[in-house]
Structures are given as C-alpha cells and as structure tokens.
Structure 1
Amino acid sequence: MDNAENLFNPSLAAALMKLDPEDGEQIMEYIKTHALLTREKALLQASVREQKKLLVENAKLKKDIEQLRIQLQEKQRRRTAKAFLSPAPPPRSLSSDPCTPVDPPASPVGATASVPTKTLPPSSSSHERRDGQNRRSRGGRKARPTSVSLPLGLDPRVDVSRLDLRIGRILSGRHHPLAERMSVLEVDVGENSPRTVVSKLGEITKLEELQGCLTVLLCNVKACKLKGVVSQARVLCCSTSDDSIELLAPPSGSTPGDRVTFLNFPGDPDRELQAKQRIWELLQPDLQVDCRGVATYKGCGFEVKGKGLCRAPSLTNCIIR
C-alpha cells in the first residue's frame, strides 16, 4: 500500500510527462486507478476474514449455550430428585418433650412428712431408650429403622412422554397356536427387521384384512414370552365395555417408525420400561378416546408431527389398552 501511495508523488508524474509527453497523463491515471483497486481488494479480503472469524465465534457460542442448557437441565433434575429423596426432619429432643417427668420440688427444711406428688407416666421415647439399653446389655442387636427410602435412581417424572410410541405397518397376522383369543403379528416399525407382537385382538378374526394397515405400537416394553411366542412390542387398541375392539389409526401420510408425541408432555422416552415401576399400569387410566374419536392422554392428543392426530376408526368415549 505504501508503494501504491508513492505513485501519486508529483515528481513521479513530472518524470512520466517528461519521458512520454503524449501518453504520460494516461499512464498516470492508469496507475492511480490500479492503486485504488488494489486498496479496495485488500479491504474486501480483510472484511471476508473478519466475517469468517465472526461465524466461527458464533458457532462456538451456540455450542457453549447448548452445553450450559444441558447442564442446567441436569442440575434441575438432580435438585428435583434430591427434594424427592430428602430425609424426614429429626425428632424433637427429650428436653422439649412435654411428657418428660419433672423432679418434684425439694421439701422445706425441717418438714416431718413429705407431700405426695403426682408424677406423669414415662413417655414412649423413654421406654424405647430403656428397651434399647436392655437389649445392648443382653448382647442383642440394635433395632433397624422401619422407614423405607426411595431408590436413588428413581425418576419422579411419570407421564406419557416415557412411552416410546411409534407407527408400525402390519406385514402379516395369524392366530396364536396355543391361545384362541390371541393373535401373532409381524409389524414393520422402521427398523432393520420387523417385530413380532402377540396381542389379544378378541373379535378381530379376519387377520388377513389387517395386512398393510398402519397402527400405533408401544416399543419400549420388555420382550416377554406369551404362550410360547416372544412378543417384542404392544399394539394399542381401543375397546368399549361390550368388547368392541379397534386398532388405533395413525393420520394419513404416516410411515413406519414415525414417533407419536404429545404437545403438553415433551421429553424423551425410556430406553426400556422397568416392570417394577409399573409405568404402563399408572398411565393407562388416562389413555382414552374422546367424543370426537381422537386418542388422548389427559386431553392431549396422540400426534405425529406435521401429519395429524391418531384416531379410532369408529369408536368414541372408550379406553385405550
């Protein structure tokens, strides 16, 4: 840039005019124009470098913000679990126990007869303390506390977001060889291989008509053997008190593997539902088909994002099982 600025020196212009009187002025103008273009190009390159630097810093800030958000969620979850598992307040000290016996006042000096005083019965805490001392003197074991604490890994969140509900396509169906009211279905849920599902479809006897139908499956139940056949998922049906049964119908445009979510209950499903926690049994009473035929949990519809709501084909005001 310093060399380009030196080209504007008047002595250089005079020298060019002396060497070439006819074209000296045009050469000087060309040199000036070239110098200005060189300066603008350098400024533009510096601006591009600055823009790239800002983009890199912006991406780094987004990553830091995402990490902070994850840390904040983890802290909130730990705080909730800690509050859920906090121990009970300690018992009151013996000095504040209103049932603790109080020594009677001393008799006046020279009294010949003591005045009988009414003493309170010993408190239950004093009885327990005396019993503990007697057990220790006899070599007995110390009594264990009867309070039951919750397991440390317990998740206090119990809602429908813990269920892994997905859309599946029924590839084939047959009657269970050992159970009359059970059916064995092969269902595609968007994985490498279909899942085998054993279900009590009851009066749905024309299983060949179900081939190619879309339905809703609970996919994070533990695989179990039912009458000799291993079931790897659960088909969601709606049924009435007179044993009318229908499979839930996903919205049009759904494909195998689509997640069913709930607007009011966000969250990731469990990898596998633990049988001892009985999550499905706790949630099932709130799984219902409303008066419009829409499958709901506590009034919130079963939704496939961007495609619509899951419904019962014809039943209304019934349960989902």
Structure 2
Amino acid sequence: MLTATFRHFYRNSAFKMTELKQIVEKNLQAQVLVDSIKSEMTGILQLKKQQLVKENADLTKQVEAALSQLTKLELANGKKQFPVPGAGARGLCTKATESVDTSVAAAEPATKPVSAAPKEKKPAKEKKPAAEKAKPAAAPEAPIDVGRLDLRVGKIIEVGRHPDADSLYLEKIDCGEPSPRTVVSGLVKFIPLEEMQNRMVVVMCNLKPAKMRGVTSEAMVMCASTTEKVEVLSPPAGSGPGDLVHCEGYPRQPDAQLNPKKKVFETCAPDLKTNDALVACYKGAVLHVPGKGNIVAQTLKNVNVK
C-alpha cells in the first residue's frame, strides 16, 4: 500500500516539475520578446524624436526668416518696431501679448479709491509734419531763339521726284555725317530739278523726323520765301558739308531734337528774314559760317526764311 502511494506521489511530482519547467521557459521567452519590443520601441521613439527636433529647428528658421522679412517690409513702409526683450521668433507674439496683459493688469489697481480725483488729461502734442526732402531744382530751359536750331551746311548729292507726290523732291544731302540724310522738299513748283543737283544748301537738322507721303524726311532745306517765289539759301563760298551756321548775339546750343509741343521753330520763324543786303538774319542778327561768310538769298529781300 505504501509503495503504491509513493509511486503515485512520484508520478504527480514529476508531472508538476515538467509543467513548471515549461512555464519557466515560456516566461523567459516572453521576457525576451518584451525586451526586444522595448528595444525596438526605444529605437523608434529616438528616431521620431530626432525627426521632430529637426522639423522643429527647420520651422523655427522659417519663422525667423519670415519675421525678419516682415520687419524689413514694415521698416521700409515707416512702421516703428517695438521689440520685446528676451522674445525670440517662436515666442515673440506670445511674450509680447503676455507683457502687454501684465503691464495693463499692473497699471490698474484692484480697487479704485473713492476720494481719488480724476487726473486731468494732458493735451496731445501736435505732431510736426516731417520736413519734405528738397527736390533737385530742374535745370532752367534755354530761351527759345535761333541758337536752339541746328543749322548746318549740306550738299545735295542725289535728287529726284517723290514717287508718290508730283510737288515734292526726294533728296540725299551730305551734312558731314557718316551717312547722308533723306530730305523731302516741296520745291518742284519753284526750282528746276537741274538747279537742285550737287547744290550747297543750308539745312536744319534737329527737326523731328516726319513721314511725307510714305518717306521719312530727316531735315529741312532752308529757303527765302514768298507766296510767288522761293529761293534756296546759299552758304558762303568755301563752305563744306557739316559746317555749322551761327548767329551773332545768340550762342549756338541746339536741342538734340526739337520737341514739336514746345514749338521752338514756330516761335523763331517770324523773326527769320532776309535783309536789304539779301543776308539771312534772326531779329536783324546775321546768320553766318564763322571765318567764311554770310548765308544769303539770290534776289529776295526782306522776306521770311523757312
């Protein structure tokens, strides 16, 4: 009986020991798995933390750059800046708000004394307008006279009829420049073609170029003129293409190009005339090529030059 009982006890003990070993092994396996999971989670959290730190740094830089740009724009538009001590880009708005709230709260007492008399408000000081920047004075415009007309000696090197106008000549005139100027003149009714060829003339060169029947005219041949007769003015003997025409008493300072709106030539034209000696003049002052002689008409005295 005792032997049977012992055997039964031994068998139960061996079975329980086997179960215990299995439990211990499973516990160890579970612990290894937990440790592995913890290690992986720690790595993931560390990586995520690094990513968040980097993203936060990038965002901080972007905010600071935007704030710097905003400050520059406000300064450029005359906006005053009120920096908050110790406030960086990230906490500027918050700290500024907190400082304002705190200062307001500190300024207002918890209870107002009944006997305290209301403080008189000081009259606001009038702001003085900022002194306007002195604008540079515009250069005074030269007086309107013959000195602003670019009169030169030229030579007609080619002339023919305008293809689209019977009353117009089409000329090429050497004015002492790299290339001749194209000039359209309404002289067909007054001067024969053969008298225009290879002729020395006086040309006004700073008129604004204008199209005449489809051809751009770059200058004007100066003539003594009446309603019945026109004569091309002649420069003095010995003149050459490009020689400058001067007028006594009126310094030569021609515009680069006459502005049609200012009507410089139109203002001068009534005072451009020939005199009794056939010499072209402006208000009685002689037009001449220095050292060579005067500008003259052939027969027309005391008539307009245009």
TM-score range, shorter chain: 0.5 to 0.7
1:190 aligns to what?
176
Query: 1:291 is matched with which residue: 276, 281, 298?
Result: 276
Distance in 2 (alpha carbons) for counterparts of 1:205 and 1:314? 14
Quote how far apart the aligned CAs of 1:156 are.
Answer: 4.7
- TM-superposition CA deviations, 1:172-217 (whole Å, max 9, x none): 2111122221111110001111111011114235213321110000
SS for the counterpart of 1:311 is: coil
Partners of 1:177 and 1:290 lie apart in 2 by: 37
- Residue in structure 1 matched with residue 299 of structure 2 by the alignment: 314
User: For 1:283, what is the secondary structure of its paired residue?
Assistant: helix
2:223 counterpart of 1:237: yes
Distance change (3 Å), C-alpha of 1:236 and 1:273: same
1:302 maps to which residue? 287
Distance 1:289 1:220, change over 3 A: same
CA distance, structure 2, for counterparts of residue 161 and residue 288 of structure 1? 15
User: What is the rounded CA distance, in whole Å, between the counterparts of 1:203 and 1:301 in structure 2?
Assistant: 29
Q: Is contact 1:238–1:315 with CA below 8 Å preserved after alignment? A: yes
C-alpha separation between the residues in 1 aligned to 2:285 and 2:170? 31
Structure 1 residue runs of 4+, over 4 Å off?
151-154
**Quick check: 2:203–2:220 contact (8 Å CA) kept in 1?**
yes
Amino acid at match of 1:304: V
Partner of 1:270: 255
Instruction: Write the distance in 2 (CA, Å) between the matches of 1:240 and 1:196.
Output: 25
1:49 maps to: none
The equivalent residue for 2:197 is: 211
Secondary structure, in 3 states, of the residue corresponding to 2:194? Answer: helix
CA contact 1:202–1:245 (8 Å) conserved in 2: no
Counterpart of 2:237 (choices 220, 245, 252) is: 252
> Rg bigger for which structure?
2
1:116-137 residue CA offsets vs partner (Å, 9 max, x unmatched)? xxxxxxxxxxxxxxxxxxxxxx
Aligned-residue offset at 1:267: 3.4
Q: Is the 8 A contact 1:222 1:273 kept in 2?
A: yes
Amino acid at match of 2:281: T
Q: Which residue of 1 aligns with 2:164?
A: 178
Per the TM alignment, residue 295 of structure 1 is displaced from its structure 2 partner at its CA by 0.3
1-structure distance, mates of 2:230, 2:280: 14
SS of 1:250's partner is: coil
Which whole-Å CA distance do the structure 1 matches of 2:235 and 2:142 have between them? 30
Structure 1 distance, partners of 2:255, 2:282, is 18
Residue by residue over 1:133-182, the C-alpha shift from the partner in whole angstroms, topping out at 9 and shown as x without a partner, is xxxxxxxxxxxxxxxxxx95661511100000000001121111222211
Q: In 2, Cα distance between the equivalents of 1:226 and 1:197?
A: 10
Q: What residue number does 2:143 align with?
A: 157
Corresponding residue for residue 135 of structure 1? none
Given the two structures, how large is their TM-score scaled by the length of structure 2?
A: 0.53
Q: What is the aligned partner in structure 2 of residue 224 from structure 1?
A: 210
* Paired residues of 2:190 and 2:229 also in contact (CA < 8 A): no
Which 10-residue stretch deviates more, 152-161 or 224-233? 152-161
Name the amino acid aligned to 1:318: V
Aligned-partner Cα distance in 1 for 2:282–2:212: 28
Gaps of 5+ in 1: 1-150
Equivalences for residues 18-33 of structure 1 within 5 A: none
Aligned mates of 2:288, 2:191 — CA distance in 1: 29
143, 150, 153: which one pairs with 1:167? 153
Q: What is the TM-score normalised by the length of structure 1? A: 0.51
Aligned length in residues: 170
The CA distance in 1 between the partners of 2:191 and 2:219, in whole Å, is 20
